């Protein structure tokens, strides 16, 4: 019980840190930050509902797997609340429930797990990875308009791409993971606003035909009520 409580507290702190602005109040909020953190992604989802996502990990460096993520939206005491079943069985990760979410918490859960994985692989500190991601979103993110396919339809979407460690002065400390990219694909026409979240750690050998070291992708599947 104590271990579970500590895990929940740690998760809550990390989720809050990811959600907080990395820039000062004087800085202009970037388009990428606005799309990801200042948009009400759940406005098109009325409680009670469950958003289902598929997760796939592939790559040459580690064993891959497929799993599921389910986001449950409900109301309690007059407030919208979101809980998550992030993975199943032995891989299940405990995350705190979010009350009155300002966006889709699956983004923060995905990033929180990603930071844990980067800490495990490199021995780096979580604060370093959080800061690098937020600074990249604030300063160097590219935003492109695209389309995604869902339910047999082509839907308008925005695609945000960052490479947070590529130009970092400390990138040598994380070695072959420094080229990691993050791609966030959003669509207001998808329930919950997030179509997919993907990270790719390219092979050090380079080349389009080389399999990445690790690639992870979470993709929206369906909404059920």
222, β-bridge pairs:
52
Residue 55's contacts (CB-CB under 8 Å, 6 or more residues apart) are 66, 67, 68, 69, 87, 216, 217, 218, 219
Residue 171 has a pLDDT of 82
Residue 3 has a pLDDT of 45
Give how far the C-alpha of residue 126 lies from the chain's centroid of Cα atoms, to the nearest Å.
15
Q: With 0-12 CB in 10 A as exposed, 13-18 as middle and 19+ as buried, what is 23?
A: middle
At residue 27 the predicted structure's pLDDT band, cuts being 50, 70 and 90, is low
Q: Are 170 and 155 spatial neighbours (Cβ–Cβ below 8 Å)?
A: no
**DSSP category for residue 212:** P
End-to-end CA distance of the chain: 32
Is pTM, for the whole model, over 0.85? yes
Q: Answer yes or no: is pLDDT of 6 > 60.
A: no
At residue 8 the predicted structure's pLDDT band, cuts being 50, 70 and 90, is very low
Distances (CA, A) of 113 to 50, 66, 117, 211: 21, 15, 6, 22
Tens-place pLDDT, residues 107-164: 999 999 999 999 999 999 999 999 999 999 999 999 999 999 999 999 999 999 999 9
Tens-place pLDDT, residues 183-224: 999 999 999 999 999 999 998 876 667 889 999 999 999 999
Residue whose C-alpha is closest to residue 57's, from 117, 141, 125? 117
Q: Which domains does the chain have, with CATH numbers?
A: 2-224 (2.50.20)
Mean pLDDT for the stretch of residues 158-175 = 91
Residues shown for the chain: 225
């Amino acid at each position: 019980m104590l271990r579970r409580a500590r895990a929940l507290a740690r998760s809550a702190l990390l989720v809050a840190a990811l959600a907080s602005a990395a820039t000062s109040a004087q800085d202009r909020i970037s388009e990428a930050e606005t799309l990801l953190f200042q948009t009400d992604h759940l406005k098109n989802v009325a409680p009670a509902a469950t958003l289902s996502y598929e997760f796939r990990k592939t790559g040459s460096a580690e064993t891959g797997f497929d799993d599921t993520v389910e986001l449950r939206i409900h109301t309690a005491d007059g407030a919208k609340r979101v809980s998550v079943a992030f993975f199943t069985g032995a891989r299940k990760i405990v995350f705190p429930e979010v009350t009155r979410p300002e966006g889709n918490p699956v983004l923060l859960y995905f990033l929180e797990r990603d930071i844990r994985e980067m800490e495990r692989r490199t021995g780096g500190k979580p604060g370093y990875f959080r800061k690098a991601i937020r600074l990249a979103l604030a300063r160097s993110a590219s935003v492109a308009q695209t389309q995604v396919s869902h339910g047999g339809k082509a839907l308008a979407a925005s695609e945000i791409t960052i490479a947070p460690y590529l130009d970092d002065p400390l990138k040598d400390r994380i070695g072959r993971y420094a080229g990691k990219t993050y791609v966030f694909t959003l669509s207001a026409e998808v329930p919950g606003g997030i179509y997919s979240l993907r990270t790719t750690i390219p092979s050090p050998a380079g080349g389009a035909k080389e399999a990445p070291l690790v690639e992870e992708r979470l993709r929206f599947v369906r909404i059920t009520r």
